[in-house]
Structure formats: structure tokens, C-alpha cells
């Protein structure tokens, strides 16, 4: 990847898309859980709902800007001048077709977020929107080299959904929603929601690791040499280290902080859980940035060693 202004801008937008996608998924799930808590979870529910709308809007906006950067890179024109070739990119390129699918999912997600009130129908519609968005994004990346209907695309879409779920409940919960439950009257709601976050994150992590190993094996071509001999391998290693750090933080909460919080329901233990989740959320942002960089680099098997 040549570090020009356009490529750096596009990678930054891709990272924003990943973070916004995850935030939307996590916020939708937290909104559903908090609706079950009634009045004690009201403030946190409002934060989750606002986060869902804001994240969906950010995803749509980032998608549009990313397309403009892609048109500039494809055409070799300046960013503003490249707007004229966007119809050609959309109509005549595989990337354009895949972007239409991803953008359609994002736009549908925003429409549902604005019109739904967190019921089952709304949650189902948001799930459909997330799947459509993930399939479109998978077809934009390297997985589509094997064809839009390949197993590689399906695995990548599943990886994006699982990462969005794991990262989303961590980001939305740790940075925005759970701090609103940091009072004695809301302690029971915090404990129940924290338990759901821990369980769902653990289940999603299993899928993330399985699909991530599959994707890494494709990029490495069955050899570990690209890990040390290519820029792609270096970024993949960094991403792996960040994932391991996030897993350790999650394990700390699941194995120590959460059981202690359930026993004591104390303010100190609630702060410990929230602080560890906050750190995990910051690490997740790093993971999404590394993933965006990887998506815009040639896989290790294609990089010069």
C-alpha cells in the first residue's frame, strides 16, 4: 500500500466504517437488553438508542466518502474531480456493485434505527441490514478474488458480523452505555447487562477466531514467511497482538471482575468491570484500524518478501 493522501484517507474512512458498523450492532443489542430493565435502565437505554442512530448515520456518511476516495484512486483524478466518475465505478466495476450492496444495508439500518423503537420486528430488520452490509463489505475486499459467491466471501462476511458483535457490545457498552448504570439503584441492571455482554462476547469471539484463522491462512498461502517478510504480515501480527490483549481483558472481566461484582454489588467492583471494559473498547478501536489497513494491502502471498 502506497501511503498517499488518498490511500490514508480511504483507510481512515474504512476504519470509521468498521467502528460505526460495530457500534450500531452493539447499540442495537444493548437497546434490546435495556428495554427489559424498565425504569432503572432508562438512561442507559436512551444512550444505546442515540448511539444506534448516530452510528448508523456515521456508517452511511463514511460509505459515501469512501466511494469518492475509491473513485479518485481508480481514475487517478483529484478527489473533487473524481466525483464525475462515480457513476462509472458503480455501474461497471465489481467494487461498485459490492459497494451498492453494502450501502443499501447501511441505509436500511439507518432507516430502521430512525423508525423503530427496539421491538422484535425492528431488531430483526436491523439484523437483516447488518447481514446485507457485511456481505457487501466482504465482496469489496480480497475475499472476492475467489468470486462473489465463494466460501471466502461467506467466511469474511461471517467474520465481519462476529467482529462487529464482539467489538460493538464492547465499544457501545464500555464507552457509552454502561457508565449510565453506575449508581446503586441501577446496580442490578448493570450486573445483568454485564453478564449478557460477557456471554455474547465470548460466543462471538469463538467465531472471530475461527474465521480469522481461515482468512489468515488464505493470506499467508500456507507459509509463515510472509509474517516476517511483508508489510501485510507485520500489520497482521500487530492485529493478532491487539486481539490477544482484548481477549485477556475480556477474560479478566469474565473470570474475576464480574463474579466479584455479582457477589458484592459494590461500587468499587462496578467501577472495576466498567474500567476494564473501557480499556477493551480502546483496544478494539486499534483492532479495527489494523483490519482497515490490512484490507487495503496486498495479502502476504502477493507482497514482495
**Model pLDDT for residues 80-137, shown as the tens digit of each residue:** 999 999 999 999 999 999 999 999 999 999 999 998 776 788 889 999 999 999 999 9
Q: Is the pLDDT assigned to residue 305 strictly greater than 50?
A: no
**Among 245, 231, 239, which residue's Cα sits nearest to residue 212?**
239
**C-alpha distances in Å from residue 181, one per residue of 99, 126, 198:** 38, 25, 16
Fold of the CATH domain 5-302? Formate dehydrogenase/DMSO reductase fold (1.20.1630)
Residues 236-287: pLDDT tens digits? 899 999 999 999 999 999 999 999 999 999 999 999 999 999 999 999 999 9
Alpha helices in the chain (DSSP H): 5-35, 42-75, 86-92, 94-115, 120-140, 151-172, 187-220, 225-229, 231-252, 258-264, 267-295
Torsion angle of the four alpha carbons 200, 202, 206, 208, in this order, in degrees rounded to the nearest 10: 70
State the sign of the Cα–Cα–Cα–Cα dihedral 90, 93, 97, 102.
negative
Question: In this predicted structure, what is the pLDDT of residue 231?
Answer: 82
Torsion angle of the four alpha carbons 180, 170, 144, 228, in this order, in degrees rounded to the nearest 10: 140
Name the residue ranges covered by the structural domains of the chain: 5-302
**CA–CA distance, 125 with 67 (Å, rounded to integer):** 25
Q: Is the pLDDT assigned to residue 66 strictly greater than 90?
A: yes
Residues 179-237: pLDDT tens digits? 999 888 899 999 999 999 999 999 999 999 999 888 888 777 666 667 776 787 888 89
Amino acid at each position: 500500500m502506497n501511503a498517499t493522501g488518498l490511500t490514508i484517507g480511504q483507510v481512515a474512512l474504512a476504519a470509521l466504517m468498521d467502528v460505526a458498523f460495530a457500534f450500531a450492532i452493539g447499540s442495537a443489542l444493548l437497546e434490546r437488553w435495556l428495554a427489559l430493565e424498565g425504569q432503572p435502565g432508562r438512561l442507559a437505554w436512551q444512550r444505546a438508542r442515540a448511539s444506534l442512530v448516530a452510528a448508523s448515520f456515521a456508517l452511511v456518511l463514511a460509505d459515501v466518502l469512501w466511494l469518492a476516495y475509491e473513485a479518485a484512486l481508480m481514475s487517478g483524478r483529484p478527489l473533487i474531480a473524481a466525483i464525475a466518475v462515480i457513476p462509472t465505478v458503480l455501474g461497471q466495476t465489481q467494487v461498485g456493485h459490492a459497494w451498492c450492496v453494502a450501502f443499501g444495508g447501511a441505509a436500511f439500518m439507518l432507516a430502521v434505527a430512525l423508525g423503530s423503537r427496539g421491538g422484535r420486528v425492528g431488531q430483526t430488520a436491523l439484523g437483516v441490514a447488518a447481514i446485507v452490509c457485511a456481505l457487501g463489505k466482504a465482496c469489496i475486499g480480497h475475499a472476492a478474488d475467489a468470486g462473489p459467491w465463494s466460501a471466502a466471501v461467506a467466511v469474511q462476511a461471517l467474520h465481519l458480523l462476529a467482529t462487529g458483535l464482539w467489538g460493538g457490545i464492547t465499544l457501545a457498552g464500555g464507552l457509552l452505555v454502561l457508565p449510565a448504570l453506575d449508581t446503586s439503584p441501577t446496580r442490578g441492571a448493570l450486573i445483568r447487562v454485564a453478564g449478557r455482554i460477557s456471554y455474547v462476547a465470548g460466543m462471538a469471539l469463538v467465531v472471530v477466531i475461527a474465521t480469522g484463522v481461515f482468512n489468515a491462512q488464505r493470506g499467508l498461502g500456507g507459509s509463515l514467511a510472509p509474517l516476517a517478510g511483508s508489510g501485510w504480515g507485520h500489520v497482521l501480527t500487530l492485529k493478532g497482538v491487539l486481539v490477544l490483549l482484548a481477549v485477556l481483558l475480556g477474560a479478566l472481566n469474565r473470570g474475576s471482575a464480574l463474579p466479584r461484582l455479582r457477589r458484592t454489588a459494590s461500587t468499587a467492583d462496578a467501577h472495576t468491570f466498567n474500567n476494564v471494559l473501557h480499556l477493551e473498547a480502546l483496544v478494539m478501536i486499534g483492532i479495527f484500524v489494523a483490519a482497515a489497513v490490512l484490507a487495503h494491502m496486498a495479502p502476504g502471498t502477493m507482497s514482495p518478501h
